[in-house]
A and B are shown apart, each in its own frame.
Chain A
Amino acid sequence: MIEVKALVAVFLAAILTENYVLNKFLGICPFLGVSKKVNTALGMSAAVTFVMVIATAVTYPIYMNLLLPTGLDYLQTIVFILVIAGLVQLVETILKKYIPSLYNSLGIYLPLITTNCAVLGVTMLVIEKSSESFGYVEALVNSFGAGIGFLVAMVMFAGVRQRLESCDIPKSIQGLPITLVAASLVSLSFLGFSGLVENMLG
């Protein structure tokens, strides 16, 4: 089926060529702040992926079926952020009540996610792309890919950060500056993927 091929292309593009952290600079705060330990990085990105998919699943129909027909699309920003904030609360409550084991591993990251710009960014970019080719399924796949891309970047960078700990770094670039330089190099390596998806599946 052609459909599947297109979906795979969307998925891979979201992870590699349009990585939300390294290419679009969304979700930089958790990327720089959290990613020192691999476990924390994994938990955080799992929670982000989860919320991204759910948020897109809810905001996309709201925009298409409610805001657009009524001419209220200028309310997109305010509606989306409130929906995301409400959703995160809801997910937290449900997990706490019914799946406590999952809540214990993801729960602490959930409140942080409301203000994570990657989540709001994904829901908005998906709407922006809907004029080109994105239907509901593509939108969901794209947000899932974005979450996985976030995970890949976080885990990779956690490894790099662990190496940095044992390095002898000049005094004035210790701390955040060297972290940013390392991020720059990781992001440089992701530039190598440009054109990959189009040529592989196009």
Chain B
Amino acid sequence: MEAVAKKKYNPVKEVTKGIIKENPVLCLVLGTCPTLAVTTAASNAIGMGIAATIVLICSNAVISLLRNVIPDKVRIPAYITIIATFVTLVQMVVKAYAPAIDKSLGIYLPLIVVNCIILGRAEMYASKNPVVPSILDGLGMGIGFTATLLLMGSIREILGNGTWFGMDLPGQIQIIIFLLPPGGFFVFGMLIALASKLSGKKPPKATGCAGCPLSGSCSMMKAEGGESACANCTADDTPEKGGAEA
């Protein structure tokens, strides 16, 4: 633990890695549910992104502070409780000051609790690193998440509704399918393809293990000779290593 704590870190890098190199949505493929669900309009996407970023920063900070206090065996329930507390706070603030956003995000706002990005960063990063880098990591991941949501929200709103942030655009095209669920899947797939084309990496095979809070118990199960519960969770296929080889 001390070796990790003493390791020099570059604050700028901690933030920017989440935006491009380790973009949580397009590279690590975490948090797919909200990405697909709320990106029917650019304003929803921004609202969701900011809410998740705030939760991410706060929970990373608290979990990092408590990293030597929380016993290893009950860490997941402890993380979930901490995250749920912040989600509830954010939910109350949004309800009070931005009721329109609260209405359009609906159930997906409380569902930030089970967003794999947040649990994933808690497990992968905040539980092993000091407070300041953890906060920066949360900030970077949050910005990466928000930027991706905004991009997807913009594409879907412009193509599907002919507007951007509610403003009419010239030459209105309204391809309704982009606002419907199939359009969400399609745009997401194309964005992942584009991201891997630009970065020169192979597209990810499936959703990421890096954020899977159960990757620990998964490998334990495998060590005991059992079969892993998720098909993509084979030891040689974790995004961590995938990133290194590319």
| Residue positions of A touching B, CB distance < 8 A | 22-30, 32-37, 40, 44, 74-78, 81-82, 85, 108-109, 111-112, 114-117, 120-121, 124-125, 128, 172-181, 183-185, 187-188, 190-191
Contacts and interface: CB of A to CB of B under 8 A. Distances in A.
Nearest to A32: B207
B232 interface: yes
Contacts of B227: 108
Contacts of A121: 107, 111
A17 to B, nearest CB: 12
Given A108-B229, A172-B197, A115 B119 contact: yes
Contacts of A36: 231
18 contacts: A25-B36, A26-B111, A27-B33, A28-B33, A28-B207, A29-B33, A29-B116, A32-B32, A81-B113, A81-B114, A82-B77, A85-B77, A108-B227, A124-B110, A172-B196, A174-B202, A180-B188, A181-B185
Contacts of A77: 84, 87-88, 91, 110, 113
A177 B204 CA distance: 8
B92 A74 contact: yes
Interface of B: 29, 32-34, 36-37, 76-77, 80-81, 84-85, 87-88, 91-92, 106-107, 110-111, 113-116, 119, 177, 180-186, 188-190, 192-193, 196-197, 202-207, 213-214, 217, 221, 226-233
B229 to A, nearest CB: 4
Contacts, number: 163
B230 A178 contact: no
B88 A181 contact: no
B182 A173 contact: no
A175 B202 contact: yes
A40 B231 contact: yes
Given A29-B207, A115-B214, A120 B189 contact: no
Q: Give the one of B92, B116, B185 with max A CB within 10 A.
A: B185
Contacts of A111: 214, 217, 229
